[in-house]
Structure 1
């Protein structure tokens, strides 16, 4: 029996159940939104908290032909986990990074400036293998990427020189949107126009990339003209809407993949006027029952959701009573008396009336990306529906 299989039936303090059938369905839906482009499933940050190797395999089973990570260490871990027959790209580099290991592992790496081009070409020379390089253009996000104009012209020129010398292959030209989750924002059209201009410059000098890509999850769902040769889908793979203002996951044909739950560790009766948790920011209005949920901010439950986070217990929505502590928080059960061990569902797809990650995001004043990604390592990931 695998560890994941054993965890399905073992009594647990808490668990994050990951539905890989839902993930595969999401990938197929996203492929249908961009039928003329290849699909990259972004599995950075341990697949947004869902478990990178398992989610990567499921995405590939559903037709993803690329995987994306932020750091090279994340990408190398995918190769070590046996994901060797799929293209893997990583983009967050710092000087002195594991360039040679990346070249030897046949990773695609991002280059935004001359320092990175020098380091990757030196690594390729040591490895005796050409590096697969994507040149990144800063079209307006203002983070990574090479500035348009002279900087871009120099990077393209020197990359072509390295390619002619057999040290690199320019396999991609790419950029990233700033406001694709706000359709109609003027920066979207401006970035798209500049991306076309910068790729045209590179191709006019002789660059022949395998893929050009700028579309993230929201652009994949709402901006067909941005799809080019490859779309990079992150949060949408996990069934979370990248733009709640435009619709819930079901509106895009997506289904949330993670369900976070815990077993009540204590249920007790208390009188009215009883202070609850640190600071007594909640005082019971009358005689009631309290339930103790053994999850806290050390597990990634946002303290900012104190007094507001929703939880389903016994078929009813409850609200966090008082402050969320490091390892636990309290819900007021309103006189109901479920037994210790009763399931408390913090979020899931919403099928059974449970809150969603977006509900927690609203309660904490953040985005659903952060809610799922921050769930800590003390919470076991239990992967279900692993077989296709």
Structure 2
């Protein structure tokens, strides 16, 4: 244990959920993959449902089982599974499955489920990633119709994902919407009657009402992250660590491995007992800042596996003082700032905090 603490504010998750529900979206699916974006799968799922979410989204069947174990009863959709998915577990825990290919569908049929498996046909609408490629759509729809008539599946929805949703107005978004609607039309031509069309995640939900369709999938937005940069959501994390050691040094002192940081004046260095093994991005070395006694202070030298050194100047710091690495306060560094310092996105910062860091949920 690093003695650092990640404080998770579920009231922020609740407020963000209500904001999306109030936005007039037809239905909100709360995405709790990656341990609820690092906030705790069970806590985020229960909080989202209590504040108006009517679906839960996960990547794996195992995550879906964990959602059920948390007492959540609303529909659960899992969309990133191997071809040979555990169909009995899916049925036992009432989990909907995304079907991204004919092989996935065939494996469900081959399992001869005792009851129809609820499926969402997953289409590649412009990412060349998950989902069936456009040339496969007609065949997938026909096979899904045969499986539905035979009683193996019930086609509940058709889903896709937008590659450019964080760039409002990008022509790729319109192309993605058109592609999904083309897929829905093919499904209907095959005799399917899906009741849910879903495409929008957080960014598109905030910036493009035409992408809402029948269901929106909110993950990052639940925890205060807007990938589009268009909306101020409420952050839900604060990461703190105690100062473990303080030393006064002169000018020209090299700090840490390789002496990548060198003091430019006489100063005070404060050692924090956490590093990249705890989720601080090493790439933020020399750029990141932390809040110590109300003042922003720069990280000096390289962020090590277990240790980070901060140049606190003449701030009167004592061992045991709490440093804030990021948080929602006005003066505190934000998760988005850490992402910028590291050359990444906020999602990676919040999902990367390691298990040596203690959790405090409120």
* TM superposition score normalised by structure 1: 0.90
Are 1:121 and 1:131, in contact at CA under 8 Å, matched by a contact in 2?
no
- Which residue is equivalent to 1:7? none
Q: Distance in 2 between matches of 1:21 and 1:78?
A: 20
Q: 1:243 aligns with which of 228, 232, 237?
A: 228
Q: Distance in 2 between matches of 1:88 and 1:357?
A: 29
- Which residue is equivalent to 1:82? 71
Q: Which 5+ residue runs of structure 1 have no aligned equivalent? A: 1-10
- Which residue is equivalent to 1:203? 188
Task: Deviation per CA, 1:249-299: give whole Å up to 9, x if none.
Answer: xxx251001111111111121222221111111111222111111110001
- Which residue is equivalent to 1:110? 98
Task: Extract structure 1 runs of 4+ deviating beyond 6 A.
Answer: none
Alignment of 1:119-198 (within 5 A): 119-123=107-111, 125=112, 127-149=113-135, 151-198=136-183
Q: Report how many aligned residue pairs link the two structures.
A: 362
Q: Distance in 2 between matches of 1:345 and 1:99?
A: 46
Alignment pair present for 1:274 and 2:253: yes
Task: Deviation per CA, 1:119-157: give whole Å up to 9, x if none.
Answer: 12233x2x41210100011111111111224x2111111
Q: 2:21 aligns with which of 21, 31, 35?
A: 31
What is the SS of the residue equivalent to 1:209? coil
Are 1:309 and 1:320, in contact at CA under 8 Å, matched by a contact in 2?
yes
Displacement of 1:228 in angstroms is 0.7
What is the SS of the residue equivalent to 2:121? strand
Q: 2:3 aligns with which of 1, 13, 21?
A: 13
Relative distance call for 1:204 and 1:42 in structure 2 (3 A) is same
- Which residue is equivalent to 1:66? 55
- Which residue is equivalent to 1:327? 306
Q: Distance in 2 between matches of 1:98 and 1:344?
A: 46
Are 2:2 and 2:273, in contact at CA under 8 Å, matched by a contact in 1?
no
What is the SS of the residue equivalent to 1:178? coil
Alignment pair present for 1:365 and 2:343: yes
Q: Distance in 1 between matches of 2:26 and 2:128?
A: 26
* TM superposition score normalised by structure 2: 0.97
Displacement of 1:206 in angstroms is 2.1
Displacement of 1:12 in angstroms is 7.5
Alignment of 1:201-350 (within 5 A): 201-244=186-229, 247=230, 252-350=231-329
